[in-house]
Amino acid sequence: MSASGFRTERDSMGELKVPADALYGAQTQRAVDNFPISGITMPFPVIRAIGLIKRACAQVNTEFGLLDPDIAASIREAADRVCGGQMAGQFPIDVFQTGSGTSSNMNVNEVLAHVATDIGGQTVHPNDHVNMGQSSNDVFPTAIHVSACLEIHERLLPAMEHLAETIERRAEELNGYVKTGRTHLMDAMPVTIGQELSGWAAQVRHGADRIRAALPRLETLTQGGTAVGTGINAPEGFGPRVAAELRSITGVPFTSMDSYFEGQSSQDAAVEMSGQLKTYATSLMKIANDLRWMNSGPLAGLGEIALVPLQPGSSIMPGKVNPVIPESVAMVGAQVTGNDATITVAGQSGNFQLNVMLPVIAYNLQQSIELLTNASAVLADKAIAGFTVNDDKLREALDRNPILVTALNSVIGYEQGAAIAKKAYADGRPLIEVAREMTELSEEELKSLLDPARLTGGGLVK
């Protein structure tokens, strides 16, 4: 090791200077030097997934009698440290790297070899031992699936459940509040706030159902296909054994793919899941925009609800408070939609036996999952859980809503109803007052027929 803070490492291309305190080797350093593109490194869930794969492969290689048990034990312990987040800073390679993810695979191989050598006291080679029976071409596609499945099971689905439960609780609490419904952003027949929120809850729950429906394809793994899908240099049965080991470690029902050729040449399961994430992002944007409209004002907008004030809304207008959480969630919706477009294009980039945009698929899929997870929790806790209803505003709008005349159609007919609605709107008068003048219906009959609460059906629509 030199006094300059570097040490010399060697790979098949020759010698290279590596930072003295780095746990990685020459191949990682070459990738760092070659790809100064974005400054964005591989998300930790992907590194964790590669660590889990290496752990599982070391175990299976030992069971096949191919790997020294002591070396395997050292690799497994090193992998546990990587998966536990103890090696932060040792995975510096840019996301925009070689399309197979070889650089990140070798980065993990080198770190594990270095740490395992220290643990066991005997030399562990990144290729011969850590990467035994594997190729970047099956490791990285497997890591995309494993990382996405773990984040969805462990974080996203629980966050979606929390959001759905929060909306449903508020729907029950607020179902007594009747408001003007709107279609085309124009006044329509009344609904309760509870009924309106029940639609949001259904969107979230159906989003979770769609994601769960796509999981079985994502839970199939291409590990065992090695370089081109034929399984070269891996023992027969290696892939299913690795999938079983990962299933045991994680509790996720991973299985081995029927066709490694599909798994390495395409990323259809990731594209499918991204589409379901985009659908949920679309739902969140709809909910966020509804909240923004309902909260708008407080004087010149709808002013139906008041979101919890969280921070000053303007650097120049004192007292202004903005709907910051719905705005943040809407931006998440936009970002996830863009991520899906990237994943779609990347998914089309399978040439013969290998997709060559794997790292950008991994990055965008992980970002979408993380954004949706965090946005779901924030929307539930900082917007929906605490907003209050401005009942006076709701009543004022209902009293002047000419569309309530729809309830009289079966009694006075569409044409007379339209005339009443137009006059009430033109005169700026309550509908019931105009209807009393233009029909022979009594005050009691009109109050019954035009009662907004009765017109909603009264309960939550489930």
Catalytic site includes residue 136: no
CB atoms within 10 A of CB 345: 13
Burial class of residue 383 (count of CB atoms within 10 Å of its CB; 0-12, 13-18, 19+): buried
Alpha-carbon distance of 129 to 9, in angstroms, equals: 18
Pairing of strands 255-256, 220-221: parallel
Give whole-number Cα distances, 11 to 27, 28, 103, 123, 132, in Å. Answer: 7, 10, 13, 15, 17
Active site residue: 248, 259, 314, 410, which one?
Answer: 314
How far is it, in rounded angstroms, from Cα 287 to Cα 170? 14
CB of 369 within 8 A of CB of 336? no
Nearest to 143 by CA among 188, 86, 82: 82
- Answer for the pair 103, 47: CB distance below 8 angstroms, yes or no: no
Contact (CB, 8 A) for 265 and 230: no
Counting Cα atoms < 13 Å in the Cβ hemisphere of 318 gives 0
Alpha-carbon span 461 to 445, nearest angstrom:
27
Coil, strand or helix at 25: coil
Choosing from 2, 4, 12, 184, the catalytic residue is: 184
Tokens linked to 370: 């993380």
Query: E-strand spans in 322-415?
Result: 350-351, 354-355, 388-389
Find the helix or strand (DSSP H, E) in which 11 lies.
strand 6-11
Catalytic residue status for 206: no
| CB contact at 8 A, 439 and 165 | no
> How large is the C-alpha radius of gyration of the chain?
30
Spatial distance between the Cα atoms of 284 and 138, rounded to a whole number of angstroms = 35
Residues 6+ apart with CB under 8 A from 128: none
In the numeric block, which tokens belong to residue 52?
């889990």
Asked if residue 120 lies in contact with residue 70, where contact means CB atoms within 8 angstroms, the answer is yes
Q: Which residues are CB-neighbours of 397 under 8 A, at least 6 positions away?
A: 179, 180, 187
How far is 112 from 118, CA to CA, in rounded Å?
A: 10
Bond prior to 298 in cis (omega within 30° of 0) = yes
Which residue numbers are catalytic? 184, 314
